[in-house]
Structure 1
Amino acid sequence: MRWLRRIIVALIVIIVIVLAIGWRLLAGSRPQANGTVAVQGISAPVTIARDGDGIPTITARNRRDLAWALGFVHGQERFFQMDLQRRVAAGELAALVGPKALPVDENHRQHRFRALAQRELALMTPRQRKFMDAYTAGVNAGLAHLSVRPWEYLLLGEKPKPWTDADTLLTIDAMSFDLNQDGDDRRDLNIARLRAVLPRPLVDFLLAPSPRWEAPMQGGSTSAVPLPDASVFDLRKAPVQQVALAQGAHAVALTDAADTGIGSNGFAVGGKLTGGAALLANDPHLSLRVPNIWYRAQLRYPDPADPSKMIDLNGVTLPGAPAMVIGSNGHIAWGFTNSEGDWMDWVRVIENPANPSQYKTPDGWTTLVKHDETIHVKGAPAVHMVVKDTIWGPIMAKAPDGTPLALAWTAQDPRAVNLNLMKLETATTVDQALALAPTIGIPPQNLVVADNAGNIGWSIAGSVIPIRAGIDASVPSDWSKPGTGWVGYATPAQDPRIVDPADARIWTANQRIVSGDALALIGDGGYDLGARAQQIRDDLAAHDHFIPRDMLDIQLDNRALFLARWQKLLLSVLAASHNTRLASLKPFVANWQARAATDSVGYRIVRMFRERVRENALAPFSARATAKWKDFTWPDPQAGEYAVWTMVTQKPAWLLDPQYGNWDALLTDSAEQVADELAKLPGPLADKTWGRYNTARIDNPLSVALPGFIARFFDMPHVGLPGDNNMPRVLHPAFGASMRMDVQPGNEAHAILEMPSGQSDNPLSPWFGKGFKAWVQGKPTPLLPGPAKYKLTLQPAH
């Protein structure tokens, strides 16, 4: 027993020592917040004053020194996040974290963005290079001044590699993957697959937009696509062996929109609805993790046009870049949402029968360029791959008939990335900001701007907008004929704009915004259904005066208007059924609260019912594609709403899965599937709320490698979240509003900015997790930093 006690005591001592060492290392990797640091690379002193939430106010004598200081702060607080971003873009992640990242690297390496970044650098203006050089130097200085390298590297047993100018461009490229289908255009490929196994009129019907839910700002709704009759396609004459939906491929093929990364909102009202400056609201929705993708900051430096005045920027920065990405300068406020335009096309590569290494171009036969790429993998042998390049882009897939496909993507053009976003910092009017839009080198986005004179405007921000000719951009096409494919890029004069609409309201929510020539230019890369945009539009129309809190209320609107008709349909199904399993659902469905509330069981049931009906209705069509291509997924997760609702209301027998006797049987079976799924979960039905399903998983990417009792200290609390698809408050466990901003330029003192996690990912930081609770609750938090609690001065070294 004495030896046992000694062993136990020794183990306790060892554990305490290990915890103490871990605590000390964590503490050492926190940024320096107070004091004076002598540094090389700045021309004058710079102050970094942080408030209690860690939000810095960086004040410099010039923009170059400010870029250096912002780099210093990013390098101290967010270097690991920046490292992941550059590695994701370049296809170099496995070298840091191991084989699990290899599929990502193999996909992304095909684009060779590391090599592209060098070409992009060559196109940068001297002014942009000056800012990039300063920022890079600041990042590396900030990293070097940490007492201990960031804790993530300690866990991985790695040392961080210095930042470079090319890495800043890779950071922007990483956003292209996030915003453009991970750079592989599965949507168009899967449309082609559907067309290969189903008649074109049927595919057009199945993928048609829903006029009921569209909410464009220009032009009307699209015409309804007619229901194909039995002469086009008849399932009764061509039955398909079904795959079990609950366990099989259809559940994968018909992926829910929660997995698509769509949900951003950007809207504005003009001065006549505020009594002064215009008012902007923006809540870009992205993957949520610790730390948050954005880093809050106030940036101050003398106005180059009048040094007696200060440029005062408030908003969010992107660690890895020296710009204020979204924010306000007192004259204008600006924000972004994903445009969902068509920025990628598949090109059919016509091989030379006499020489497989050649392919056909408008100028004749050309030889494929082959690049030998090596992907280093931590703890495993390196992987070698060959990237075959064409004049349009890399060969990445095959058409349904086996023809090689090259991907043309705007992000592959070296002109697609630059630092012109920084020019918004000194713009003073909506017109000036919109004039900059076609020069800004970012993934093409909806840009919404409000100014202090009461004006509002919208345009597409992006420096590479292709002009197409002679092709159907929704499927792979042959570009080998002269005058086909991308025949040039749009000029600034062609950039679509909306300025000061008559009703003084602008709304964007990833929906189709324009029609006609403007729509032909932007294309359709998978627009949102429109129900969310429609709800925002109607919320704006319901009021004639706005303050920032009113805009936040719209961002937090979780009313389930879109599902209302599905709730009524489910009630009718339950009323007609004598199934005792379904009877228990009735009171919850009847009292569903008509919103995605965390305590609502009924909302969860209605949502599940729609999903099962959609899966069951589309299954016989999806099955034809999955039988040939195991990786097939429905081209647009939200596409099909129009077709499914049309079928369940008009009940065409020729489009019904033959396993059902009639459409009522399909609806009843869908409800029974919901009841069965819920019955398999532990606990009473009353406990199976939406919040129990929609629970936050805003975690550090490395916490999965830690024991659960330790990991929870590195993650945000796992709490139920209100909101869902097809309403302004889109929220899922690891996807949602990456920030919410509501601001009148010139009235920043009353502006709002919320974020889902704090400034730091170090759990020992005093500002770790600050803001999360307010973000969950929708409690307004100020845009401007609070009183300074910490002050660091950067002093030029002599």
Structure 2
Amino acid sequence: MTRRRFRWWRALALAVLVLLVAVFATGWYLLAGSRARLDGELEMAGLAAPVTIARDANGSVTIDARSRADVTFALGFVHAQERWFEMDLMRRVAAGELAGLVGPAALDSDLDNRRHRLRAVAQAAYAAMTPEQKQVLDRYRDGVNAGLADLREKPWEYVLLGSTPKPWRSEDGLLVIGAMYLDLNGHGHNTRELDIARMRAALPAPLVDFLLSPDPDWEAPLTGALSRPPVLPGADVFDLRAQPAPATTAASVAAALAPALEARHPGSNNFAVAGPLTDTGAAMLANDMHLGLRVPDIWFRARLHYPDATAPGGMRDAVGVTLPGTPALVVGSNGQVAWGFTNSYGDWLDWVRVTRDPADPSLYKVPGGWATVERHAEHIHVKGAPDRVLDVQATRWGPILAKDTDGTPLALAWIAHDPHAYNLGLMQLERAPSVAAAVDLAPTLGMPPQNLLVADREGHIGWTLAGNAIPLRPFGSQPQQPADWSQPGTGWHGWAPPSQYPRVVDPSDGRLWTANNRTVDGPALDLLGNGGHDLGARAQQIRDDLRMHGVFTPGNLLDIQLDDRAVFLTPWQRLLQDTLAGTSDPALGALRKLTATWRNRAAPDSVDYRLVRAFRAEVHRLALAPLVARVKARYPGFAWPSGAGNAEAAVWSLLRDQPAWLLDPRYRNWNALLEDAARRVATALGGQPGGLAARTWGEVNPADIRHALSPALPSFLARLLDMPDTPLPGDANMPRVAAPGFGASERLAVSPGHEADGILEMPGGQSDNPLSPYYGAGHAAWVDGRPTPLLPGPARWTLTLNPGTR
């Protein structure tokens, strides 16, 4: 190589290096510029007095102010600095405005959610609030926008997206509540009741009742009796042997059954023990809310300290988790009362048959006459592409979103469509002095209806439903079936008064628990309805764990939250062993040997757990496939209804009673079906590298907790943003719920008045900036189940906000 050429290549290499350094330095500068301000002093217009914002080693924030109004402002400031992008996503998802930020990839989501017109609902809810309520949202809005403005650079996600953040509006806090309605109420689809209607149209009613029966063997209600065992329909009702084979594929049938076997639904655990069962005399509460997991976590750890004449010593000291986008402490303890939630899975959505006027389709029938369908042209901005216009047709009951089994249009009645269902009443729990007061507040809270569990420092515990929008239905109605509300005496006729809300306070054994299961029976169940209750195995295991202890500490409650024992699958392990007894097939022999020793754990290294779980899923598929195929052939969009329709009771009844008329004609008997299920497991899993012995549970149960933008980035950058993909213990039907990208979004265990002994674990960290010391902070402890303190530790950083003109 000549000297001149060498110099040329050296100059080129130096230029490339300088360019790379410049790009890296620019990126670092922009990323560093969007970090939250941690210390120093700032002047802020609108504050009545100085506010201090302290952060400990995990990024837990303590806000010390001289009024709740200033706390609200400061909380908005901190939320915006640490979580602006996630707050923006939540309001945009609820409003159907996400494509305006990220482009065509989000258009389907926007088209789906914009049908509910939740921004218009949030605006109406804000307009109907009292001046005092509006002021809270306005103060939070001002704090949020001040926090955004104080960043030297816009949040780093907007640099990548080439976008500019839009200011926070007062109604956006209500849109965040709307996002929780979407998440906790099946995204406003109500496919469960639509699929039940399809089943009833394609199969005899007694057979559908049998298939959707709850399982009394796994129920654990707080009050009332267990459900009746399923009633097996006779051959005169339905005989598979006399039915022609439907024209469906095995793959489509398997896909239709997936919701019953693999779907993950937002849920939670909470449980409480009364004062006589603790060494302090104060009651104790545990709560872990199961949601989709992300980086950073949905919740934000905070302690709020301000003067309050109703608090002990005249100072309110409340600690727990907040939801960025709202000014409320969602779950926590105020020194007098601790509170937590689980999704109730009541029936909060109904389909309404809409009868159109044949002569004028713009009219539809209502009680006593006709009304005009309202048309809303919803303009959806799409970044980098032409805007879309969505035509929303609305009735007095809700938007028209689907068709009944006979083609009749269906309008969706959903509590989230009513502005009445939105308010900031949750903030009042922050000041509740007792269980009785908290339970009385529950029916006034504008939020998705939840199981509220409370415990107080005097030793009392209580349960009720939180949420102010429980619809009243006519006695004897069938809410899980589409109905014609134009007829007299049909439809919703108001909201349940507080006197009708069921409640349990201070049960005789001093223990309460909920886990998305059926909690009541009789008239209370008629009021709440069934929107897809969990099977109950998780609740039952929690109940039984509670009964194994006589005295509790917060650590004992955490142990229950981390319980990954496979109680639910134990009967399936015995069935698999019985099925394979005496087998001469080498593959089946290996399956039998690997599951003969039952460790009874959904541990990452458990081979026996994964194999038994796969066997159960395969038995369900084979037993239900010929029935599902008949519904699927008539309604291609059918999927098995979620919740209590998981068919566990029905499948066990089939295996116990072995009715030939409900057996797939391909099999000579039910034992042949069981053997085929085992063989399919052995073939599918045994054919993978390492064979059956290498098929651990952790192989298919990694954490998979990602930042929202990481899927769109090169893998080497995505790995820097995402949490380590650690295999996790736990599964659906046990207290320790875990699945890829899903699980306990926090774990709380606390006794009010003894918060110093409390525990709070959280995945994903506090901050969304990768250069923040709090990016991913606390995540490793959550993975390992190591207790981390509820109360913030010593301050590492302190920022003071002073009243000023800025």
TM-score in same-fold range (> 0.5)? yes
1:528 to 513, 534, 551: 534
Residue 629 of structure 1, CA deviation = 2.6
**CA-to-partner distance for each residue in 1:231-262, whole Å, 9 max, x for gaps?**
000000003247454x4442344324543324
Call closer, same or farther: CA 1:476–1:260 in 2, change over 3 Å.
Answer: farther
Q: Answer whether contact 2:273 2:285 (CA < 8 A) is retained.
A: yes
Q: In 1, are the aligned partners of 2:682 and 2:692 still within 8 Å (CA)? A: no
- 2-side partners of 1:620 and 1:10: how far apart? 68
Is the aligned partner of 1:78 residue 2:83?
Answer: yes
Which residue of the other structure, out of 163, 169, 175, is the alignment partner of 1:164? 169
Q: Secondary structure at the match of 1:598?
A: coil
User: Does the 8 Å CA contact 1:762/1:768 hold for their aligned counterparts?
Assistant: yes
Q: CA deviation at 1:538?
A: 0.6
- Distance in 2 (CA, whole Å) between partners of 1:454 and 1:253 is 45
Counterpart of 1:625 in structure 2 is: 631
Cα 1:273–1:134, aligned 2, differ >3 Å: closer, same or farther?
A: same
| 237, 259, 266: which one aligns with 1:255 | 259
Which position in structure 1 is the counterpart of 2:113? 108
> Does 620-629 or 54-63 show the bigger shift?
620-629
Within 5 Å, which residues of 2 pair with 1:758-773? 758-773=765-780
- Residues in 1 aligned to 2:377 and 2:327: alpha-carbon distance in whole angstroms: 33
Which residue in the other structure is 2:269 paired with?
265
Q: 1:507 aligns with which of 503, 513, 535?
A: 513
Give 1:198's aligned residue. Answer: 203
Give the Cα separation in 2 of the matches to 1:386 and 1:244.
Answer: 35
Query: Quick one: which of 629, 652, 656 aligns to 2:663?
Result: 656
Whole-angstrom distance in 2 between the partners of 1:249 and 1:388: 33
SS at match of 2:295: coil
What is the deviation of 1:607?
A: 0.6
Q: Quick one: which amino acid aligns to residue 766 of structure 2?
A: Q
After TM superposition, the structure 1 = structure 2 runs for residues 712-723 of structure 1, keeping only pairs within 5 Å, are: 712-723=719-730
Give, as a single letter, the amino acid of the residue that structure 1 aligns with 2:270. Answer: G
Deviates more, 1:515-524 or 1:585-594: 585-594
Tell whether 2:755 aligns with 1:748.
yes
**In structure 1, what is the Cα distance between the partners aligned to 2:613 and 2:66?**
55
Cα deviation per residue 1:387-430 (whole Å; 9 max; x = unaligned)?
11111000000001000000001111111010011111111100
Indicate conservation of the 8 Å contact 1:738/1:755, yes or no: yes
C-alpha deviation, 1:123, in angstroms = 1.9
Task: Report what 1:18 is aligned to.
Answer: 23
- Equivalent residues of 2:260, 2:646 under 8 A apart: no
Q: Give the C-alpha shift of residue 307 in structure 1.
A: 9.9
Q: Does the C-alpha gap of structure 1 residues 305 and 226 become closer, same or farther in structure 2, counting only changes over 3 Å?
A: closer
Local SS of the residue matching 1:325: strand
1:40 and 1:135 map into 2 onto residues whose CA distance is 13
**Does 782-791 or 12-21 show the bigger shift?**
12-21
Question: How many residue pairs align between the two structures?
Answer: 797
2:584 paired with 1:578 = yes
Q: Name the residue aligned to 2:447.
A: 442
Aligned counterpart in structure 2 of residue 738 of structure 1, from 740, 745, 759: 745
The correspondence of residues 265-344 of structure 1 with structure 2, limited to 5 A, is 265-275=269-279, 276-305=281-310, 309-344=314-349
The aligned runs of 1:339-738 (5 Å cut-off) are: 339-469=344-474, 471-636=477-642, 639-738=646-745
CA distance in 1, matches of 2:17, 2:681: 50
Partner SS state of residue 415, structure 1: helix
**Contact 1:577/1:668 (<8 A) preserved:** no
Quote the residue 2:224 is aligned against.
219
2-structure distance, mates of 1:482, 1:115: 30
* Corresponding letter in the other structure for 1:36: E
Could you report, residue by residue, the CA deviation over 1:456-478 in whole angstroms, capped at 9, with x for unpaired residues?
Answer: 00000001110101531111111
User: What is the SS of the residue equivalent to 2:143?
Assistant: helix
Partner of residue 783, structure 1? 790
Superposition pairs of residues 92-171 of structure 1, within 5 angstroms: 92-171=97-176
Q: Which moved more, 1:252-261 or 1:91-100?
A: 252-261
Q: What's the % identity of the aligned pairs?
A: 58
Q: Distance in 1 between matches of 2:12 and 2:671?
A: 69
Instruction: Give 1:7 deviation, angstroms.
Output: 4.3
Q: Alignment partner of 2:573: what SS?
A: helix
Return the alpha-carbon distance in structure 2 between the equivalents of residues 242 and 9 of structure 1.
67
SS at match of 1:627: helix
RMSD: 1.5
The amino acid of 1:177's aligned partner reads: L
One-letter code aligned to 1:400: T
| Cα distance change of structure 1 residues 592 and 308 upon mapping to structure 2, 3 Å threshold | closer
Distance in 2 separating the partners of 1:795 and 1:708: 43
Give the secondary-structure state (helix, strand or coil) at the position aligned to 2:738: coil
The alpha-carbon deviation at position 544 of structure 1 amounts to 1.1
1:237 aligns with one of 230, 236, 242: 242
Which residue pairs with 1:40 in the alignment? 45
Contact 1:263 1:725 in 2 (8 A): no
Asked if 2 retains the 8 angstrom alpha-carbon contact of 1:250 and 1:622, the reply is no
Q: Deviations over 1:72-94 (max 9, x none)?
A: 00010001000000011011111
- Could you tell me how far 1:308 is from its partner in structure 2? 5.9
The answer to whether the Cα contact below 8 Å between 1:262 and 1:528 also exists between their aligned partners in 2 is no
Q: Deviations over 1:140-169 (max 9, x none)?
A: 000000011111111111010000011000
Equivalent residue runs for 1:172-191 within 5 Å: 172-191=177-196
Contact preservation (8 Å) 2:257, 2:621: no
Change (3 A) 1:354 1:591: same
TM-score if structure 1 supplies the norm length?
Answer: 0.98
Structure 2 residue matching 1:568: 3-state secondary structure: helix
Q: What SS does the corresponding residue of 2:378 show, helix, strand or coil?
A: strand
Structure 2 Cα separation of the partners of residues 483 and 325 of structure 1: 38
Counterpart of 1:541 in structure 2: which amino acid? R
Task: Say whether the 8 Å CA contact 1:592–1:601 is kept in structure 2.
Answer: no
1:34 Cα deviation after fit: 0.5
Letter in 2 for 1:468: R
What secondary structure sits across from 2:437 in the alignment? helix
Task: Say if 1:262 and 1:510, in contact at 8 Å, map to a contact too.
Answer: no
Taking the aligned partners of 1:359 and 1:14, their CA distance within structure 2 comes to: 66
Give the AA of the match of 1:441.
Answer: G
Shift of 1:482: 1.6
SS at match of 2:739: coil
Letter in 2 for 1:734: G
SS in 1 for 2:646: coil
User: Deviation at 1:5?
Assistant: 5.5
> Equivalent residue of 1:486, what SS?
coil
TM-score scaled by length of structure 2: 0.97
| Mapped contact 1:298–1:314 kept (Cα < 8 A) | yes
Q: Report the Cα distance in structure 2 between the residues aligned to 1:537 and 1:242, rounded to whole angstroms.
A: 45
Rounded Cα–Cα distance in structure 2 between residues aligned with 1:248 and 1:435: 49
- How far 1:763 moved relative to its partner? 1.4
Paired with 1:439 and 1:783, the residues of 2 have a C-alpha distance of 28
- 8 Å Cα contact 1:396/1:405 also seen in 2: yes
1:304: Cα distance to partner? Answer: 4.1
- Tell me if the contact between 1:278 and 1:452 (Cα under 8 Å) persists in the aligned partners: yes
Q: Give the aligned residue type for 2:90.
A: Q
Separation (CA, whole Å) in 2 of partners of 1:741 and 1:709: 34
Write the distance in 1 (CA, Å) between the matches of 2:669 and 2:117. 52
Retained in 1: the 8 A contact 2:230–2:653? no
Q: Report SS of the residue matched to 2:594.
A: helix
